[in-house]
A = this chain, B = another copy of it.
């Protein structure tokens, strides 16, 4: 293998695939990035077996030469060293030459780097995915839906399936659900799909989705999501992102969501966030994060927290459209802040069905987002 490649393209490609490199891999070859040079371009591959990412650099773009290929071939190079070195090289053009025993020489300007390469034949094959269930989503929307749900997944591995986001595609909707034992985040979007393409138990690790989000392009470029039995592939213009589907059956969360409310109100999102944030400063010192909300009358609520050592925070807020019984309720302020942060609406509607029942937060602008938080059981 011998070629010269544009530094910026190579750098960008490395950044993309590097997201699949794990620092604690059991298979030494997976601490490397595989390079395959052919007459169509250069393909980079990285994998930690859960995630595999492939990025492609074409020979030219818009008539501008990106790669000059002298000899095709493959090699696996140590990811961390390769990545940092390419970023710091002084020239726009980088020459990569692989010789005997995968010894690789990289030349750029007045720098020459010899790297000990590994045999690409030892690199595991990527999963093969049959194209039976494909759904196409705009990149922007996909990013937003992930941001609105992935934060709520369980951080502990006690129930592995809860560390993932459930993806459901039925005949008119794509729905994402993330939840742990204390909260739930749900977002859906209209999506036409024929009967064969539908799926319901596709659960993808929240951590994986956050990595995917960093790679998804901005704007409304279309991204294909291809689902097979135990793998899912997100296909972008020059990037393939493979992820394992988590095993286990995702719980039926629809029963958790109340159908009607005892009390409802509308509040300005920013004001409520700031008030809870100040109350959180104190509750954090108590290591509980508990904040109380009390409805004073049909126009006013009070958000408060207290600590015997430090003092007390009391916030008064004006609300609108408060209907139903005046309640007092306690909740984890961190969970409430997380939920309010992703709602992306100036005002939110909050629904209650009693001080021991789930709190439901929905944007007032009608976007199909639903955030659920279980209240904290307090004696006062």
Contacts and interface: CB of A to CB of B under 8 A. Distances in A.
What bracket does the count of chain A residues touching chain B fall in?
20 to 34
A312 interface: yes
Contacts of A315: 110-112
B277 A88 contact: yes
B317 A110 contact: yes
A104 to B, nearest CB: 8
A83 to B, nearest CB: 10
A274 B316 contact: no
Contact of A278 (B78, B89, B277, B311): B89
A313 B311 CA distance: 60
Contact of A111 (B78, B84, B314): B314
B281 A88 contact: yes
Contacts of A104: 311
Interface string A173-197: 0000000000000000000000000
A220 to B, nearest CB: 36
A285 interface: yes
A21 to B, nearest CB: 15
Contacts of A89: 278
A311 to B, nearest CB: 4
Contact of A282 (B81, B275, B285, B317): B81
Contact of A88 (B81, B274, B311): B274
A242 to B, nearest CB: 28
Interface of A: 78, 81, 84-85, 88-90, 104, 110-116, 274-275, 277-278, 281-282, 285, 309-317
Given A85-B278, A114-B314, 14 more contacts: A78-B310, A81-B282, A81-B311, A84-B281, A85-B281, A88-B277, A104-B311, A110-B275, A110-B315, A111-B278, A111-B313, A111-B314, A116-B309, A116-B310
